[in-house]
Amino acid sequence: MSLLKYLNETPKENLNISTIAFFANLEKVKEISPSIAKNILNELQDQRKNLKLIASENFSSLSVQSAMGNLLTDKYAEGYPYNRFYAGCDNVDKIEEEAANLAQELFGADYAYVQPHSGADANMVAFLSILMAKIQKPFLEELETDLINLTAEDFLKLREKYGKQKLLAMDLYSGGHLTHGYRFNNSAIMFDAYNYTVDKETKLLDIDNLRKMAHEIKPLIFLVGYSAYSRKINFAKMREIADEVGAVLMVDMAHFAGLVAGGVFTGEYNPVPYAHVVTTTTHKTLRGPRGGMVLCKKEFKEYVEKGCPSFLGGPLPHVMAAKALAFKEALSDDFKKYAHNIVKNSQALADSLMEKGVHIVTGGTDNHLLLVDVSKSYGLTGRQAENAVREGGITLNRNGLPFDINGPWYTSGLRLGTPAVTSLGMGVDEMKEIASIIDNILKNTKPAKTSSGKASKAKFETDLNIIKSSKKQVADLLLKFPLYPEIQID
Ligand code: DSN
C-alpha cells in the first residue's frame, strides 16, 4: 500500500497520524532508493513477525524515532552547550541542555554528558576523562604548565605515564564487555588490563577474590558492569574496594540503566551514588534511541564534558533530541511499572525453563537477562541453538558462558532478555509459553555430522513440523501484542 492509497481508502475518522508519517517517510526514502525503503519496511515486518528476545534491544517509542529522523542531523555542534566551535548552535544548545538536565534528574547524577554515540564511545570518553583527571592533571600541576605549553619531551613522558595505567574489569566470558580490556579492543591497547572472572562453581561474582585482585593489582580504574551477567551487584561494596586501593570506580550500566531509572535497582544496587563515573547506552532497557551517555561526579565534569575533542567528533543533535524524549518517558510512573515487569518476566522465563530441566547459569536472574547453557541442556552449541530458534520465529543471540570451551563464535550459551517483549505488554503467562516453544525446538534439534563423522558446531538437524508449529504459536502470540499498532500497514 502507498500513502495515497491509504489516504484515499481509509475513512477520514480512521486516519492515523503515525501511519501517515510512516508512509510519508518511506515515500521520501523511495524517491532516492526504493531498495532502502523496501528494507526499512521489511525490518518492520521482520520485527512484527518474530519475537524479540535479544537482551540488548528494545522498541523505542514512535516519538523517540520521530525526534531522530529530521534536519537536526545537518548541524555541527562540537563543544558543549553554550561553548561551541560553530555558529548557529542556539537550538542544539537547548536540546543538549534539556537532555542532560533530564538525565541528571532521572539518575540523580551530578553531571550528565549526552553526546557519546554509543556505549563503546561512552566508555572511551570515560577512560580518557579518568586518565586526564588522575594522571594528566597532577603531572601538569607539578610542572606548573598546561597541555599547550608542555614541551615535546614532557608530553612523551606524560604518554609513557598514560601507558602504564592499570584497568581491572570483568572478563568477557564472565559477562564483561569487549571495551572492558578485551585484547582485540582499544581498551587493552590503552591500559595494562586485568580481568576478574566469576566463581568457577557458582558462576557468581566472587567479592573476596575481587578484593584480593584489586589489592594485588592496584588499578587506576576498577570497572564494574556487564553485558551478560544475570545478577545484581552491590555497588556500595564495589566502592569500598575501590577506596581501599585508591582506584576510580567506573560502572558500565549499559544493560541495566532502565532498571536503575525505573527504581528496580535501588540503594546499594544503584551504581550512581557510589561510582565516580557511570557509562551507559540509551537504547537497551532504557528504551531510547541508539546512543551512549556518561554520568559523573563533579570532580570529573571538566574532563567528561570535553569528550570532544578527547575522543568524539561532532555530536548527533537528532539523537540528543531523541534522548531527551526517552529520559522524559523514563521519568513516568508507567516506565517504573515497565522496569519492574521486565524483571518479573525474565524471572518467569528462567523459572519456566528450569522447571523443564533446562540449565540456567547461576540458577536464575535478578535482572532483564538470563543465560541458557545449551551445551549442558541440549548438547548444542549456541550458534546451532540461535539458528534453530530463529527458524521457529524467535530472535535471540548466542553468548559465551563463563569458562566456555566453545569460544566466542560458536559458544555454549544463549542470552535471553525480556525488555522488548515487556514493551509489547507481555507478562508471566506469555513467558511460560515462550519457554515451552524454545524448549520444544531445542530438544528436537541435534548437531549434524561432519564429513568425518564428528558432531558439527554449526550445522544442525531439527524437526520441521515443530518449527512450523512454533512459528504459528509465535505468530498467534504476536497478534495479541502487536508492535506499533498505530502503524496500520499490511
Ligand atoms: N552489543 C551489546 C550487547 O548485545 O550486549 C553490547 O555492546
Ligand 1 neighbourhood includes 280 CB (under 6 angstroms): no
Tell me, in angstroms, the distance from the centre of ligand 1 to residue 57's CA.
9
Rounded Cα distance between 180 and 186, Å, is 9
Please state the atom number of ligand 1 nearest to the C-alpha of residue 179. 7
Rounded to the nearest whole angstrom, what is the distance from the C-alpha of residue 254 to the centroid of ligand 1?
A: 8
- Most informative mutation of 52, 177, 179, 184 for ligand 1 (most atoms within 8 A of CB): 177
**How far apart are the CA of 419 and the centre of ligand 1, in A?**
14
For cell 532497557, the residue is 285
Helices (H) and strands (E) in the chain, counts: 22, 16
Residue 422 Cβ < 6 Å to ligand 1 = no
Task: Provide the 3-class DSSP secondary structure of residue 371.
Answer: strand
CA 15/CA 157 separation, integer angstroms? 67
Distance CA 177, CA 186 (A): 12
Residues 6+ apart with CB under 8 A from 431: 345, 348, 349, 352, 418, 421
Q: How far is the CA of 19 from the centre of ligand 1 (A)?
A: 31
**56 in ligand 1 pocket by Cβ < 6 Å?**
yes
Q: How far is the CA of 41 from the centre of ligand 1 (A)?
A: 24
How much distance in Å is there from the Cα of 64 to the middle of ligand 1? 21
Q: What is the rounded CA–CA span in Å between residue 249 and residue 255?
A: 18
Cα 55 to ligand 1 centroid, rounded to whole Å: 8
227 lines ligand 1 (CB under 6 A): yes
Q: Using CA atoms, how far apart are residues 323 and 319, in angstroms rounded to an integer?
A: 6
Q: Whose CA is nearest to atom 4 of ligand 1?
A: 56
**Ligand 1 closest atom vs CA 227:** 5
State the distance from the centre of ligand 1 to the C-alpha of 178, rounded, in angstroms.
9
| pLDDT for the residue 95 | 98
Q: What is the three-class DSSP state of 431? A: helix
- For a substitution probing ligand 1, which of 56, 178, 416 has the most ligand atoms within 8 Å of its CB? 56
Q: pLDDT at position 253, please?
A: 98
Summarised one tens digit per residue, pLDDT across range 245-265 is 999 999 999 999 999 999 999
CA dihedral 308, 313, 319, 325 (to 10 degrees): 10
Q: What confidence tens digit (pLDDT) does each residue in 425-451 have?
A: 999 999 999 999 999 999 999 999 999
**153 alpha carbon to ligand 1 midpoint, in Å?**
40
Question: What is the arrangement of strands in the sheet containing 248-252, beginning at the earlier edge strand?
Answer: 111-113, 292-296, 277-281, 248-252, 221-225, 166-170, 192-196
Ligand 1 atom having least distance to the Cα of 397: 4
Query: Which of 237, 408, 273, 431 has its CA nearest to residue 353?
Result: 431
C-alpha cell at 184: 582485540
Give burial (CB, 10 Å; 0-12/13-18/19+) of 385: buried
What are the C-alpha distances in Å from 37 to residues 2, 289, 402, 488? 12, 20, 41, 17
Helix (H) / strand (E) element for 133: namely none
For 112, list phi and psi in degrees, rounded to 5: -125, 135
What residues have CB less than 8 Å from 490, skipping those under 6 apart?
1
Contacts of 449 (CB under 8 A, 6+ apart): 455, 456
pLDDT value, residue 263: 98
CA distance 80 to 94: 11
| Residue 484 CA, ligand 1 centroid: distance in Å | 24
DSSP H helices in 270-355: 298-304, 307-310, 317-330, 333-355
Does the CB atom of residue 225 touch ligand 1 within 6 A? Answer: no
Q: Can you tell me whether residue 165 is helix, strand or coil?
A: coil
Which residue is it, cell 516519538? Answer: 63
Q: Which atom of ligand 1 is nearest to the CA of 254?
A: 6
For ligand 1, atom 2: residue with the closest CA: 56
Residue with cell 577474590: 209
Q: Exposed/middle/buried for 208, CB within 10 Å: 0-12, 13-18, 19+?
A: exposed
Convert the pLDDT of each residue in 369-389 to its tens digit: 999 999 999 999 999 999 999
Tell me the chain's radius of gyration from C-alpha atoms: 24
Q: Whose CA is nearest to atom 3 of ligand 1?
A: 56
Task: Report CA 291 to chain centroid distance, whole Å.
Answer: 9
Q: For position 181, what pLDDT does the model report?
A: 96
119 close to ligand 1 (CB < 6 Angstrom): yes
List per-residue pLDDT tens for the chain, 490 residues long: 788 889 999 999 999 999 999 999 999 999 999 999 999 999 999 999 999 999 999 999 999 999 999 999 999 999 999 999 999 999 999 999 999 999 999 999 999 999 999 999 999 999 999 999 999 999 999 999 999 999 999 999 999 999 999 999 999 999 999 999 999 999 999 999 999 999 999 999 999 999 999 999 999 999 999 999 999 999 999 999 999 999 999 999 999 999 999 999 999 999 999 999 999 999 999 999 999 999 999 999 999 999 999 999 999 999 999 999 999 999 999 999 999 999 999 999 999 999 999 999 999 999 999 999 999 999 999 999 999 999 999 999 999 999 999 999 999 999 999 999 999 999 999 999 999 999 999 999 999 999 999 999 999 999 999 999 999 999 999 999 999 999 988 7
Separation of CA 119 and ligand 1 centre (Å): 9
Task: Please tell me if the CB atom of residue 123 comes closer than 6 angstroms to any atom of ligand 1.
Answer: no
Residue 292 in contact with ligand 1 by CB distance below 6 A: no
Q: Using the atom order of ligand 1, give the atom closest to the CA of residue 120.
A: 7
Taking the C-alpha atoms of residue 250 and residue 130, their distance in angstroms, rounded to an integer, is 9
Q: Grid cell 586485568 — which residue?
A: 194
